[in-house]
Chains A and B, each alone.
Chain A
Amino acid sequence: MKQENLLEVKQLRTEFFSSKTSSVTAVNEISFSIGKGEILGLVGESGCGKSVTSLSIMGLLTATSGKVTKGEVLFEGKDLLKISEKEMREIRGGEMSMIFQEPMSSLNPAMRIDKQMIEGIRLHTDLSKEEARKRAAEILAQVGIPDPERVLKNYPHQLSGGMSQRVMIAMAMSCQPKLLIADEPTTALDVTIQAQILDLMKKIQEEKGMSILMITHDLGVVAEMCTRAIVMYAGEIVEEAPIDELFNAPQHPYTKGLIASVPKLGSGVKVLPSIPGSVPDLSSLPSGCRFAPRCKYATEKCRAGKPELFEVGENHYSRCWLASEDRKGEK
């Protein structure tokens, strides 16, 4: 990457402990970076570790049995895994914000919107209550809420799904973060509302020049929003590429299968190629390549040893033995 990196994740490993000795590795030594002003996509199916990755970055694993056991999360050069909870709290919601899939359950149902927003703003700025309220109304207007004053007086249950997701985005934006982590921000919404929200996120991103980590299972959303994307499978990165290359020349058989198995509007096909089998259980992973049991190209080599991420092009990496042939260099 020539551009400056805002966030660098190095060899991050997150494990979930069921007892002191037994654990499941949900995220296994993943490394990636996000440049300033970049929208990076993180794609994968349920259980691939994409949400755990975001929670690890935000330091939000404390409520679970999960723990980061290895690696570094460098935000502007500072390792977020080493700082105190107090310092982390200042960054979280300030320079780094997050929006979740379920806007309804992320808002406090017993608190009016104004109170929730003012609380967030005052935590990170030294604005007075009145000033913070004014700022809240401004941001709500910016995210396309037609009557901010009315919405501020509402409780979350009085808002529709699209409206509450907009409030969530407004709250995340209220302290002008440098990085926004969006975990399936539009999955719970209808398509026409999804289009509104994606449009809004892109507009804000362009205006403020912030970076977004877009976590989703929807390849359509990735294709329209991101400049670069990472594909995860069973806790590991299997492919990383600039967006055009990922869709036009995918290298990993899983990425190929995933792209092929999504119906495309207007393609006119009746039967889709599908990936046989299902995602492996993280507690009993195959010994070689994790995708080998479902891969039609799998050979003895794949079942015996685990492939590294091989460089297959400029900024394009694939965790597949096929990619290693006649190419050199490892990431």
Chain B
Amino acid sequence: MDTLVSVKNVTKTFPVGKTLLGKPDKFVHAVNNVSFDIYKGETFSVVGESGCGKSTTGRLINHLLMPDSGEIWFDGQRIDQMTQAQVRPLRKEMQMIFQDPAGSLNPRMRVEDLVEEPLLIHTKMTKAERMKEVHKLLEIVGLSAKHAQRFPHEFSGGQKQRIGIARALTVKPKLIIADEPISALDVSIQAQVLNLLHDLQKSFDLTYMFISHDLSVVEMISDRIAVMYLGFIVEMAPKEMIYNNPSHPYTQALLSAVPIPDPGRKKERIILEGDIPSTVNLPEGCPFATRCKYCKPECLKTKPEAKEIEPGHVVACHLY
């Protein structure tokens, strides 16, 4: 399989707090020594709870943030050290869909102008060609040409997300980074947008990086999954292995915590004690040790290395 994105030992911290001299004295360790590859044509999902660094990881790949250390490769080019000007031609290869569709559309622009904008920046099409393309895309995402003249506030949440998707598709990207694209939508609308994303992947030959906290959604859409906790990838594997053989204690707890809409299926639930530690003061040992029921003295002292326990299934835990 061809690799589209390669992330190697990437770390990102954000400064918080200041000393008397104005130098930062504390850091949020958002992403810690993370490595993974995304293959062409697959859906790679990053799951985890709030503050686990999943969105930061997406932003690092999209060059909206620069890593402190490590390498990021996109389609054979190293992009983490590029300047904004150097990255600009690559921007059309990777587009983003955001969680809050209302916040990511300019309220003072008509839908056709919103969808046209990327074409204006990245292509040399004429006005007529651009409009033809815009109307075609609106059709594809399930809106019609009559919507083109309207403003974003005239649309429901699901429709706004469709506009966001149309906008991302205009420049025929290779990679779409979707950061919680359906979390803000109603249940009955979520399925519509998920199905749309699924259909578009085939017809536009897209690679998805799907960032989500919802394990049932991720199961539907993914090929491979990385589970993040406190800025670390604790487990990474093809979907079937994550769901049939969850191996990291955190993945096991996460899966067991999902409420299942079927009263007949009662299951054993692992209730985790305590809260997620702060990312400012990372634990010395395993990041999950404070909440883990298998915690050994070793876990408090050293960070576990990522180990391959079966082909393609990587776990960072001292149990293996």
Tell me which of A25-33, A95-103, A258-266, A299-307 binds B: A258-266
Q: Which of B186, B194, B272 touches A196 (beta carbons < 8 Å)?
A: B272
Asked if residues B188 and A257 are in contact (CB atoms below 8 Å), the reply is: yes
Asked if residues A261 and B187 are in contact (CB atoms below 8 Å), the reply is: yes
* Contacts between chains A and B (CB distance < 8 A), count: 128
Tell me which of A59-67, A86-94, A125-133, A185-193 binds B: A185-193
A193 vs B51: C-alpha distance when bound (angstroms) = 13
Q: What are the residues of chain B within 8 A of A276 when measuring CB–CB?
A: 192
Q: Count of chain A residues with Cβ under 8 Å from any Cβ of B?
A: 48
Q: Beta-carbon contacts of B191-219 to A below 8 Å, as 1s and 0s?
A: 11011001000000000000001011101
Asked if residues A271 and B271 are in contact (CB atoms below 8 Å), the reply is: no
Asked if residues B272 and A223 are in contact (CB atoms below 8 Å), the reply is: no
Asked if residues A163 and B275 are in contact (CB atoms below 8 Å), the reply is: yes
B260 within 8 A of A: yes
A244 within 8 A of B: yes
B9 within 8 A of A: no
Q: Beta-carbon contacts of A157-199 to B below 8 Å, as 1s and 0s?
A: 0001111000000000000000000000000001111111011
B50 within 8 A of A: yes
Asked if residues A279 and B262 are in contact (CB atoms below 8 Å), the reply is: no
Q: How large is the interface on B (under 10, 10 to 19, 20 to 34, 35 or more residues)?
A: 35 or more
B292 within 8 A of A: no
Q: What are the residues of chain B within 8 A of A270 when measuring CB–CB?
A: 198, 220-221
B101 within 8 A of A: no
Q: Beta-carbon contacts of B249-275 to A below 8 Å, as 1s and 0s?
A: 000011111111111100001011011
| B residues whose Cβ falls under 8 Å from a Cβ of A | 49-50, 156, 158-159, 186-192, 194-195, 198, 213, 215-217, 219-221, 243, 253-264, 269, 271-272, 274-276
| A residues whose Cβ falls under 8 Å from a Cβ of B | 45-46, 146, 160-163, 190-196, 198-199, 217-224, 243-244, 247-248, 257-259, 261-266, 268-276, 278-279
* Interface pairs (27), CB distance under 8 Å: A163-B275, A191-B213, A191-B215, A192-B49, A196-B271, A199-B271, A220-B261, A224-B259, A257-B188, A258-B187, A258-B188, A261-B188, A261-B191, A262-B216, A263-B216, A263-B219, A265-B258, A266-B219, A268-B219, A269-B220, A270-B220, A272-B195, A274-B191, A275-B192, A278-B158, A278-B186, A279-B156
